[in-house]
Amino acid sequence: MNKDIPIDLVPAGSAAAPRDALSRPLRDLRISVIDRCNFRCPYCMPEDQYAQDYEFLSKEARLRFEEIERLARAFVRLGVRKLRLTGGEPLLRRDLPRLVEQLARIPGIEDIAMTTNGVLLPKSAQALRDAGLHRLTVSLDTLDAETFRTLSGGRGEVADVLAGIAAAERAGFAKIKLNCVVMRGVNDAQVLDLIEHFRGSGHIVRFIEYMDVGTVNQWRGDMVVPSAELIARIGARWPLESLQPNYRGEVAERYRLKDGGGEIGFISSVSQPFCGDCSRARLSADGKLYTCLFARLGYDLREPLRAGAGDEELAVLIARRWAQRTDRYSEQRAELRARGEQKHVEMFAVGG
């Protein structure tokens, strides 16, 4: 993109949309609205690192809703059409439906989704739906109550998540994506139970390989259960049939149960990296642009925003940063870890 040419609203994938150094377009934006969470999952925010007295972002440091809307509009000018609200736990952000309503009014936005642990959905699902939220993803690593307590850092009950999913269904959310991070020796023996429970519900269970996100989750490669292994296990119980991606760059490899029981997905960032089609940018709660889940540093957009930058200037800043993007960590994982380059932004700061 020529940085001197005014940026108008461009169609996603058009020649006018910015591309990074590897020719990847900018299509999706994940917005972290808060860095706090009511769980302490060991793969994201372990209790020993983030205890009760941990100092998260102050209210002043977080982007205000109006600021999030302005930045979202700048991203839309560059071709973004899909937004996902994340955290931390996004439902801890007060009045979140108001933000959804503001984002839903932006011309060009085609899809607004949210990732949540689900326990606060009974109080907010209907308001979110009415405000214009299209889709939900709920994190659910197991149905076993004891294992769930362990994986939530002793702060959650699986029954509360199931109640949240039920509330979302009543509010009109269909095809909810249920994300399960699979760890060998922790919850991998329970994946069939998840599929059994949600068979015929219309929801999509997705299994995510345990990733080395952040710096404090004590990741070990031997705890990763490759998706190919899970596909074999599940296929032995219920024959599977592969499905075509819904769109280029879709992170999950899609399958359906041949007996009609539903769809399941596999996100294989470790064993089958998909960096080549990655079109996602991430905006942290304090206004930093991250061009990869495994990035070390973010590009500050809050400072120019609060200093009075206009919409055109913000779009140009984003486009320039995207044009410099070379990230492909998952494809280079072994090489980078061998060199000791393991410092990443924590996942709760930018969403999964």
According to the model, what pLDDT value does residue 305 have?
98
Q: Which stretches of 218-311 are assigned E, i.e. beta strand?
A: 240-242, 253-257, 263-267, 280-283, 288-290, 299-300
According to the model, what pLDDT value does residue 350 have?
81
Please, are residues 242 and 216 in contact by the beta-carbon 8 Å criterion?
A: no
pLDDT digits over 157-182, tens only? 999 999 999 999 999 999 999 999 99
Burial (Cβ within 10 Å: 0-12, 13-18, ≥19) of residue 53: exposed
According to the model, what pLDDT value does residue 276 have?
87
According to the model, what pLDDT value does residue 198 have?
98
pLDDT digits over 106-138, tens only? 999 999 999 999 999 999 999 999 999 999 999
Question: What letter would DSSP give residue 84?
Answer: E
**Of the candidates 138, 67, 137, 126, which has an alpha carbon nearest to the alpha carbon of residue 97?**
126
**Of the candidates 268, 288, 292, 266, which has an alpha carbon nearest to the alpha carbon of residue 279?**
292
According to the model, what pLDDT value does residue 32 have?
97
According to the model, what pLDDT value does residue 3 have?
39
Low-confidence ranges of the chain (pLDDT < 70): 1-16, 51-52, 214, 334, 336-337, 340-343, 352
According to the model, what pLDDT value does residue 12 have?
47
In the chain, the amino acid numbered 208 is: I
According to the model, what pLDDT value does residue 346 have?
79
Using the structure block, give the residue that is written with the tokens 């699986």.
158
According to the model, what pLDDT value does residue 341 have?
64
Give the separation between CA 2 and CA 14, rounded to whole angstroms: 14
- SS3 label, residue 306: helix
Query: What is this structure's pTM?
Result: 0.91
